[in-house]
Amino acid sequence: MAKSIAVLLDDKRIGAVKGSDLEGKIEQMFGGQLSCFIVEMDDAKAKQVMDAFDTARVDSRGFITDVPIAFNRVIFEEIARTKSLGAEAVDGVLARVDEIQKAAAKEKEFLPCPEF
């Protein structure tokens, strides 16, 4: 069964995709309180994500959660770069796993301030 990841969107991220085809793919969660992209991936790619990050888990909806903040940042960067919610965005993230793991190790020491 395919797994999904919800990539949460703030105003800055929504602005970054405004005017592109991605704008029409924005989903609403929790009664419209949160905006997100839903990225689906096959089991093989989901397993790679799960294996790369020891905190990652699959919730009852089939969504991969509890990934590092660095993972969430990179997946949005890849979505914006590829203009896709498909395999090319996920492949871009998987190609950057080493970079993400290094940033995630720093998160265990402290959580980075949000970018404004």
pLDDT (tens digit per residue) in 3-29: 999 999 999 999 998 988 999 999 998
Q: In the chain, pLDDT over 90 holds for what percent of residues?
A: 71
Give the C-alpha distances (Å, rounded to integers) separating 80 from 14, 40, 90, 110: 10, 16, 12, 27
Q: Is residue 115 part of a domain?
A: no
Q: Is residue 114 part of a domain?
A: no
**Within 10 Å of residue 5's Cβ, how many Cβ atoms?**
23
Per-residue pLDDT, 111: 63
Beta-carbon-side half-sphere exposure of residue 25 (alpha carbons within 13 Å): 17
Residue 10 near residue 16, CB atoms below 8 Å = no
Q: Is residue 116 part of a domain?
A: no
Can you tell me the mean pLDDT for 56-83?
Answer: 94
What's the pTM value of the predicted model, to 2 decimals? 0.85
Per-residue pLDDT, 106: 83
Our count of domains for the chain comes to 1
- Could you tell me the residue range of the domain that residue 62 belongs to? 3-107
Tokens of 104: 């995630």
Q: Is residue 24 part of a domain?
A: yes
φ, ψ for residue 17 (rounded to 5)?
-105, 0
Q: Is residue 9 part of a domain?
A: yes
- Distance separating alpha carbons of residues 89 and 82, to the nearest angstrom: 6
Can you tell me the mean pLDDT for 32-47?
Answer: 93
Q: Is residue 113 part of a domain?
A: no
User: Where does residue 89 rank: exposed (0-12), middle (13-18), buried (19+ CB within 10 A)?
Assistant: buried
Per-residue pLDDT, 4: 95
Q: Is residue 28 part of a domain?
A: yes
Higher pLDDT, 64 or 1: 64
